[in-house]
Copies of this chain bind each other. A is one copy, B any other.
Amino acid sequence: MARKILILTEGLSSPHAAKTACGVIRYRRDEVVGVLDTTVPPQPAQALLEVGGDLPVVNSLDALPEANELLIGIAPSGGSLPAPMHALVLGAIERGMDVVSGLHEFLNDDAELAAAAAASGSTLRDLRSNRERDVAKRRDISADCLRIHTVGHDCSVGKMVTTIEVARGLAKRGAGAKVIATGQTGMMIEGDGCPVDAVVADFISGAVEKQILSHQHHEVLVIEGQGSITHPCYSAVTLGLLHGCLPDGLIYCYEMGRKMAKGAASVALPTIESQRDLYLAMANAAHPCRFVGVAINSRTADETAYLAERDRIQLEWNLPACDVFREDAGPLVSAVLEMRKN
């Protein structure tokens, strides 16, 4: 049965809070039938989320009876299901809709939701639920597959979209490229991957290594980054991922004007130059690696400021740089293809 996805953003319908919703709408638009938020008037998704065009935002499950899947469209720090969403999820289950969630708190662990799903025949898919129990082995890693990894200054600076745009750009130019999704939104878009931030600590690098070993028959793997190597909450995830995927090349992602760490507002971000050096040092401790490009998120900047920033970075870092939305990922794709040749 074709998926007809209704995305739940209840009370959290902003491009930042509903990051998961926006990603799925952007890259799986043909499977999405609407957005559910009872706290706002019905309107086009574009007005609310800055993506989705005329995709309808609706007030009730009744408004889109053809929907057969409810997708939780948020990714809050801590990963609990917000209380206002619970009744809507239950209502969807009672209609027999499947529910897809990337939260740390599992739908299947909620007795009321699980009982309702058993009664209605709904499937509850907890993307972060995993039983990863293998440590990394650093064996059988192919030198014929180029591994490119997006790393970032902070959370929510554009690592996932850069990953997807680079992989799609490579495919368009004839290279066999595959995204290794490492977060819930990336997994919803790509259809596979590993929820690395939900893996038990000892097995983080091992879980990532398994993804590499499974997919290294592709010419290029583009591995989605998470958090940042200096993030107060998530640096462990970032390093486990870096040492699990052993990149040959890194793409640095940052947002112009970002000063404080997302989710830890009292913590200033390091300079992008000092952080770049930490990434290089930590990556090269495991595998020879260099930066191949920079993805600038310029959403808060005007065109003039963006162009000046892009020119400065290209000059000072001696690397191609671009905003993959404002322009496209072309310069990064070319840099990866160049590395592939050498």
Contacts and interface: CB of A to CB of B under 8 A. Distances in A.
A277 B278 CA distance: 11
A234 to B, nearest CB: 6
Interface in A22-75: none
Interface in A266-321: 266-267, 270, 274-275, 277-278, 281-282, 285-286
Contact of A232 (B201, B237, B243): B243
A104 interface: yes
Interface string A77-104: 1111000000000000000000000001
Which residue, A199, A204, A267, A281, has most C-beta atoms of chain B within 10 A? A204
A206 interface: yes
A202 B285 contact: no
Contact of A138 (B232, B274, B275, B282): B232
A280 to B, nearest CB: 11
A200 interface: yes
A200 B198 contact: yes
Nearest to A263: B135
Nearest to A267: B138
Nearest to A274: B285
Interface in A133-154: 133-139
Contacts of A198: 200-202
Given A104-B133, A139-B266, A232 B204 contact: no
Contact of A243 (B133, B134, B206, B236): B236
Nearest to A198: B200
A153 to B, nearest CB: 12
A108 interface: no
A185 to B, nearest CB: 15
Contact of A201 (B200, B278, B282): B200
Contacts of A235: 205, 239-240, 243
B202 A233 contact: yes
Contacts of A201: 196-201, 204, 234, 236-237, 240
A20 interface: no
A135 B240 contact: no
A121 to B, nearest CB: 27
Which residue, A196, A200, A201, A264, has most C-beta atoms of chain B within 10 A? A201
A201 to B, nearest CB: 5
**What 9 A-B pairs have minimum CB-CB distances, sorted nearest first?**
A236-B240, A135-B233, A204-B236, A197-B202, A236-B236, A239-B239, A230-B285, A201-B237, A136-B233
Given A79-B202, A80-B133, A274-B285, 7 more contacts: A138-B267, A197-B200, A199-B200, A199-B201, A202-B237, A229-B239, A230-B285
Interface of A: 77-80, 104-105, 133-139, 196-202, 204-206, 229-230, 232-237, 239-241, 243, 263-264, 266-267, 270, 274-275, 277-278, 281-282, 285-286
9 contacts: A77-B135, A198-B201, A198-B202, A229-B239, A229-B282, A236-B241, A275-B285, A278-B282, A282-B282
